[in-house]
Amino acid sequence: MKRERRFLFLILLLGMAWPAWAQVVQVSRGNKTIEISLSESVKVDPEIAEIKIGVQNYGRSKEMAYDENVRVANQILQALLDAGVPRTSIETQAIKLERPSTYGLAETPKEQQFSASQSWIIRSPAGEAQKIVDIAVGAGANEVEDVEWSASDPTALEAQANAAAIAKARKVADATARQMGIKVGELLYVSNRVVRPYDLQGGGGGQVAAFGYAVAARVRTPLKLFPGKVERSATLTVVFALE
């Protein structure tokens, strides 16, 4: 009877602590198991960067706007290739040739009758992102949308999150069992639901983590990128046997 009261008190105590722990502990005396539901995250330094850059310009005619855009775009791409960026790492994201909106303007300036723009996504090692942005802006890019940071092996990172969650579940199970005067046995069952930042994604990112800004081609002060951590979270339900 005394053991039963201690068990009921423990379950009540765990129920009160759940909002702070963000986990659920259930003990089944019938089949001698303990079930833990919780989440755990791991964060690592980014290994891969996806950089979005572009160039936009205006002209009196569509030919003038288009030709100037092609000239600057080729200049940017050649500068990147000369710096050692593989052509296979550069992907065209968007190309536009259009008349700018005249909403709110009495008259469109003669020099801005047409607008032309191009943008690219460049994939590179995270440590090369700063150099790529500097080269692109120096060569004429006047748009830098954002940089997305990621891991080179997302599957391995998710496996780390799972392992961390299982280890945490074992600690919780052991602590609970000790208070009941029993021991935790083998792992019987794991149910996994991986949660990314910005589910958690976009970092992030997770989120994968992300960083973004816009710049003008005239800027000469070096831009500084601050890579964010890449995060993966695992939400598990883990069942252990009780001895």
pLDDT in tens, 32-91: 888 999 999 999 899 999 999 999 999 999 999 999 999 999 999 999 999 999 999 999
Domain ranges of the chain: 2-45+153-242, 48-146
First-residue to last-residue Cα distance in the chain: 20
- Give the pLDDT confidence score for residue 206 in this predicted structure: 30
Domains 2-45+153-242 and 48-146 share a fold: no
Q: Over 60: is that where the pLDDT of 217 sits?
A: no
The tokens describing 230, both together, are: 């890449």
Predicted structure pTM score:
0.65
- Give the pLDDT confidence score for residue 70 in this predicted structure: 95
- The mean pLDDT value of the chain amounts to 78
Q: Which CATH number fits domain 48-146: 3.40.1440.10, 3.30.70.2970, 3.40.50.300, 3.30.1950.10?
A: 3.30.70.2970
- Give the pLDDT confidence score for residue 219 in this predicted structure: 36
Residue showing tokens 């100037």:
68
DSSP 8-state class, residue 198: T
C-alpha span between 201 and 157 (Å, rounded): 15
pLDDT-derived band at 101, boundaries 50, 70, 90? confident
Residue showing tokens 């200049």:
75
DSSP 8-state class, residue 61: S
Q: Over 80: is that where the pLDDT of 213 sits?
A: no
pLDDT-derived band at 203, boundaries 50, 70, 90? very low
- Give the pLDDT confidence score for residue 214 in this predicted structure: 30
Q: Comparing C-alpha atoms, which of 25, 19, 20 is closest to residue 37?
A: 25
Please, what CATH class does the domain formed by 2-45+153-242 belong to?
alpha beta
Q: Please classify residue 224 by burial: count the beta carbons closer than 10 Å to its beta carbon, then call 0-12 exposed, 13-18 middle and 19+ buried.
A: exposed
pLDDT in tens, 117-164: 999 999 999 999 999 999 999 999 999 987 889 998 989 989 999 999
Query: Is-contact 148 124, C-beta < 8 A?
Result: no
